[in-house]
Amino acid sequence: MRRSVFLLSCLGFGYAFLYLPIALLVVWSFNASRIVNIWGGFSTKWYWELTRNDDFLAAAWLSLKVAATSATAALVLGTLAAVVLVRFGRFHGRLLFNGLIAAPLVMPEIILGLAMLLLFVALEQAIGWPDGRGFSTIVIAHTTVGMAYATVVVRSRLAQMDESLEEAALDLGARPIKVFFVITLPVIAPSLAAGWLLAFTLSLDDVVVAQFVSGPGATTLPIEVFSSVRLGVSPQVNALGTIIVCVVAVLIVVAWRLSMTRKER
């Protein structure tokens, strides 16, 4: 009995530690007062103010474009890297290739951001590209980071895949490229979706790397939020956070319902 009470207490404390700040964020987003820690009554005016904040809207649109582009590029490169590591067996330089793929997973983000900044500055001095730092440099940096995570996800699924399916298709006369698109990709489709979503989330949430590789005309939403709260938390930030929480919650519920529907079939 004592043990069960202790475990329930630990569980309750853990959930409160994780989700109570999010609940407070949602509550304070409806605070009418401009001072976030003084309750001034219920109001939704900060949501309307948020829709007229051009800086936040432009930053959000840029973040979505960067995240979608970098996640797609990271998935393509990560899938190719996973195929090489799983299907090609041993080859000269495999250890170095594997180390380069895994480096962004263990390297501090500040080191990655600084390395990317130095690379882009050197390229601009040498060949004139990139001309300043903006959308393209952020996409390249986020693709480099997201590719490592996509490779890990896709590689684990490829390693568990039954190779006899591919061998049977090859024996029946299918070309390797057709086997890859018709047999392999549909089998590993869930891991492809997971890798893309992981890379998309990492890009959308990144602050450290983006600060190094972004310029004055390209500010992502995390950087804009971080800059706005340095002088104090604005009620609009609470409203923005609530919107993001609600969108994520809806997507989770939809995904759960789709998975339950497939299981029932």
215 within domain boundaries: yes
For residues 94 and 194, state if they share a domain: yes
pLDDT of 2: 62
For residues 79 and 182, state if they share a domain: yes
pLDDT at 263 over 80: no
Residue range 177-213, pLDDT digits in tens: 999 999 999 999 999 999 999 999 999 999 999 999 9
Q: What's the CA gap between 242 and 188, in Å, rounded?
A: 34
Q: What's the CA gap between 137 and 160, in Å, rounded?
A: 35
The residue range of the domain holding 264 is 233-265
Residues 6+ apart with CB under 8 A from 38: 31
pLDDT of 105: 92
The residue whose two tokens read 């949501």 is: 47
110 within domain boundaries: yes
81 within domain boundaries: yes
User: Hey, is 34 helix, strand or coil?
Assistant: coil
Residues 6+ apart with CB under 8 A from 97: 81, 84, 85
Token digits of residue 168: 């049977």
For residues 260 and 173, state if they share a domain: no
pLDDT of 114: 95
222 within domain boundaries: yes
What pLDDT band is residue 260 in, cutting at 50, 70 and 90?
A: confident
27 within domain boundaries: no
Burial readout 187-225 (b: 16 or more C-beta within 10 A, e: otherwise): ebeebbebbbbbbbebbbebebbbbbbbeeebbbbbbbb
What pLDDT band is residue 119 in, cutting at 50, 70 and 90?
A: very high
DSSP string, 192-244: HHHHHHHHHHHHHH--HHHHHH--TT---HHHHHHHHTTT---HHHHHHHHHH
Tell me the mean pLDDT in the region 101-118. 93
User: Hey, is 257 helix, strand or coil?
Assistant: helix
Q: Which of 56, 81, 68 is nearest to 158 (CA)?
A: 81
pLDDT of 124: 92
pLDDT of 72: 97
pLDDT of 258: 78
pLDDT at 218 over 90: no
Burial of 142 (0-12, 13-18, 19+ CB in 10 A): buried
pLDDT of 136: 94
For residues 68 and 166, state if they share a domain: yes
For residues 250 and 149, state if they share a domain: no
For residues 225 and 252, state if they share a domain: no
pLDDT of 1: 55
2 within domain boundaries: no
- CATH number of the domain that residue 128 is part of: 1.10.3720.10
Tell me the mean pLDDT in the region 133-162. 94
Q: Please give the C-alpha separations between residue 137 and each of 115, 143, 210, 247, in angstroms, as whole numbers.
A: 12, 10, 9, 28
Tell me the mean pLDDT in the region 86-115. 91
Token digits of residue 18: 């994780």
pLDDT of 222: 93
Burial readout 19-33 (b: 16 or more C-beta within 10 A, e: otherwise): eeeeeebeebbbbee
pLDDT of 261: 78
Phi then psi for residue 162, to 5 deg, are -75, 110
14 within domain boundaries: no
For residues 121 and 247, state if they share a domain: no
Give me the percent of the chain exceeding a pLDDT of 90.
Answer: 63
For residues 77 and 122, state if they share a domain: yes
For residues 189 and 263, state if they share a domain: no
The number of distinct structural domains making up the chain is 2
User: Hey, is 42 helix, strand or coil?
Assistant: strand
Token digits of residue 78: 């990560």
For residues 210 and 185, state if they share a domain: yes
46 within domain boundaries: no
For residues 261 and 164, state if they share a domain: no
State the pTM of this model: 0.89
For residues 227 and 245, state if they share a domain: no
